[in-house]
Amino acid sequence: MAEIFRSPRGSALSCANWQIEAAYRMVQNNLDPEVAEDPANLIVYGGLGKAARNHEALHRILSTLRRLKPDETMIVQSGKCVGVMRTHENAPRVLLANSNLVGDWATWDEFRRLDAMGLMMYGQMTAGSWIYIGSQGIVQGTYETFVAAGKRHYGSDLAGKLVVTAGLGGMGGAQPLAVTMAGGVCLGADVDGARIDKRLHTRYLDERIDDPKKALQRALEMRAQKKAWSIGVRCNATELLAVVRDAGVVPDMLTDQTSAHDMLIGYVPDEMSLEQANDLRKRDPKAYLKESRRTVCKHVALMLDLQERGAITFDYGNNIRTEARDGGVAEAFRIKGFIPEYIRPLFCEGRGPFRWVALSGEASDIARTDQLALSMFGHNESLRTWIEKAQQRIAFQGLPARILWLGYGERAAFGKAVNDLVRKGELKAPVVFGRDHLDCGSVASPYRETEAMQDGSDAIADWPLLNAMGNVAAGATWVSLHHGGGVGIGKSIHSGQVTVADGSLEAEARLLRVLTWDPQSGVMRHADAGYVAAQDFAAHRRIDLGG
């Protein structure tokens, strides 16, 4: 039987202090069966995104953390602990680098060769940097995206609107909940019934219907009644989209979150069962890739067809357009990316997917921090609505956590206020603050976060490196530098940070530095690219842009 990992709960420490304990708990929390998509293979989410290279490497990470001293730093190379260095108490306790390859070698083939030799692992974004919080981590961003798209295109929320999509995995599974929170109907395909059941179980999805025609019929009834509802269909995306097209139905919105960034492990070809696909992948990976590419071309052609008929269609950050374009669908990039369309204005204010986790394991700690967030940011209607809806609708996975898209200034103020709660004993244990790598200053990803930058700087990867170096200098508890997350090997470079609030004054100083610098790097990045909103914001908030 596969070994099960789960974060310890409560206030007793297995490590020398809470800085180290936090890493010890969070790496295991990433692999909690409630959290990870495939914990037996150490896969957290996003196709092959892993928390550690293999079981032996994971045990070595855990045993090293158990003996790590407060002035030492553990070094992790692609999911394996390779050593410990003497630093100082305000330095990070862990430094991680995952899946990085030199430019000319940065291909899936080379990555897979090295992975098969046991030399690397794919870290995705928050998988290899130990701050994945289950599907909640993406729900608010997905909700904000659908709300922004509704406002832009319909001047309203999504009541009476049908959103069609596919991929109900670790991240994509947030789509049905986000759409219904925005008032709409979501019809989503996934080839894997177990993934659909997982979303039903965590209450991210309302209903499963395996016949695509019946599922479409039900979705149309719900749309007519303006009822917020979500339906998962066990079929290939191409099958669902063909049924929608043949019925002459035009979805109000259309997108996709299958793991199309990885044509071998993440994406599943059509015209065969999931079992047949799994078998083909093992037997003949080349033939599998050929089938995947054939399917992705058909998939994007169907999306373009429905876009042509009037569906508001956008790419949801899975590199599907590139795969289809490279397979011969020349028009693939007529589908716009969601970042330039809906998210970039938030990045200009340093706003992004900030989150925190209660290391105690107690839901009451998150309830207390929610209350604090409402008292500090309740004047912002969208943040207030999100917290209230999340309290009603989000089932915690693993350690209780909350995501809140806070911006520059807000993150540092909130980090300090939570540290005060820990100091005063109002929480049962310390809290960690982190974020997705899909943030304002931490990523270069020309098919996603930095698509169509105003000054053409899409592929410049100095920014995430500077972001990470700044977070090390500021004293984050752990800092990671990854390649290939979100859109695949060769397509992105990004960094993450996690910082512990243990109630001490030293932690307060670190939190104020890290949670100021981290979003500041995003404002800088966008101001430098010429975004007036970021330049005005920097001037207004007296952010020093040099000179």
Which parts of this chain interact with ligand NAD (CB under 6 A)? 37, 45-47, 138, 141, 166-172, 189-192, 195, 236-237, 257-261, 266-268, 295, 316-318, 438, 486
Query: For 307-428, where are the E strands, in sequence order?
Result: 312-315, 336-337, 354-358, 401-404
Quote the CA–CA distance of 132 and 32 in Å, as a whole number.
11
The least CB distance from residue 384 to ligand NAD, in Å, is 23
Tell the smallest beta-carbon distance from residue 375 to ligand NAD (Å): 29
| Least distance CB 198 / ligand NAD (angstroms) | 9
Q: Are 238 and 269 in contact (CB under 8 A)?
A: no
By beta-carbon proximity to ligand NAD, the closer residue of 93 and 448 is 448
- Length of the chain equals 547
Stretch (H or E) spanning 121: none
Least CB distance to ligand NAD at residue 75 (A): 26
Question: Which residues does 85 contact at the CB level (< 8 Å), separation at least 6?
Answer: 72, 73, 75
DSSP string over 24-90: HHHHHHHT-TTT-SBGGGTEEETTTEESSSSHHHHHHHHHHHHH--TTEEEEEETTEEEEEEE--TT
The DSSP letter of residue 340 is: I
Is 158 or 422 the residue whose CB approaches ligand NAD more closely? 158
How many beta carbons lie within 10 A of that of residue 340, not counting itself? 17
CA angle 490, 131, 46 (to 5 degrees): 45
From the CB of 507, what's the least distance to ligand NAD, in Å?
29
* Of residues 64 and 492, the one with the C-beta less far from ligand NAD: 492
Between 92 and 486, CB nearer to ligand NAD: 486
- Give CA angle at 386 (126, 31), nearest 5°: 25
Q: Helix 410-423 vs helix 363-377: angle between axes, to the nearest 10 degrees?
A: 130
Nearer to ligand NAD by Cβ, of 18 and 288: the residue is 288
Closest distance to ligand NAD from the beta carbon of 295 (Å): 6
What is the spatial distance between Cα 461 and Cα 451, in angstroms, rounded to a whole number? 13
User: Pairing state of beta strands 162-166 and 207-208?
Assistant: unpaired
Residue number, 241 or 427, with CB nearest to ligand NAD = 241
DSSP secondary-structure letter at 417? H
CB closer to ligand NAD, 255 vs 471? 255
CB 358 within 8 A of CB 399: yes
CB of 346 to ligand NAD, least distance (A): 12
Q: How far is the CB of 542 from ligand NAD (least distance, A)?
A: 31
Q: Kindly report the backbone phi and psi dihedral angles of residue 257, in degrees, each rounded to the nearest multiple of 5, phi listed first.
A: -135, 40
* Residue nearest ligand NAD (C-beta atom): 169
| 318 contacts 339 by C-beta, under 8 angstroms | no
- Shortest approach of ligand NAD to residue 356 CB, angstroms? 19
* 181: helix, strand or coil: helix
Judged by beta carbon, residue 168 or residue 346, the one nearer ligand NAD is 168
Least distance (Å) between residue 350 CB and ligand NAD: 18
CB atoms within 10 A of CB 103: 7
Query: What is the smallest separation between the CB atom of 515 and ligand NAD, expressed in angstroms?
Result: 21
307 or 318: whose CB is closer to ligand NAD?
A: 318
Q: 24 or 288, CB closer to ligand NAD?
A: 288
The whole-angstrom separation of Cα 477 and Cα 26 is 12
Closest CB to ligand NAD among residues 65, 277: 277
CB of 218 to ligand NAD, least distance (A): 19
C-alpha dihedral over 357, 360, 364, 365, to 10 degrees? -50
135 or 497: whose CB is closer to ligand NAD?
135
Cβ closest to ligand NAD, residue 127 vs residue 429:
127
Q: Are 359 and 430 contacting, i.e. CB atoms less than 8 angstroms apart?
A: yes
| Residue 104, Cβ density class (10 Å: 0-12 exposed, 13-18 middle, ≥19 buried) | exposed
Measured CA distances, 432 to 104, 175, 193, 422 (Å): 37, 26, 34, 11
**Min dist. Cβ of residue 189 to ligand NAD (A):** 5
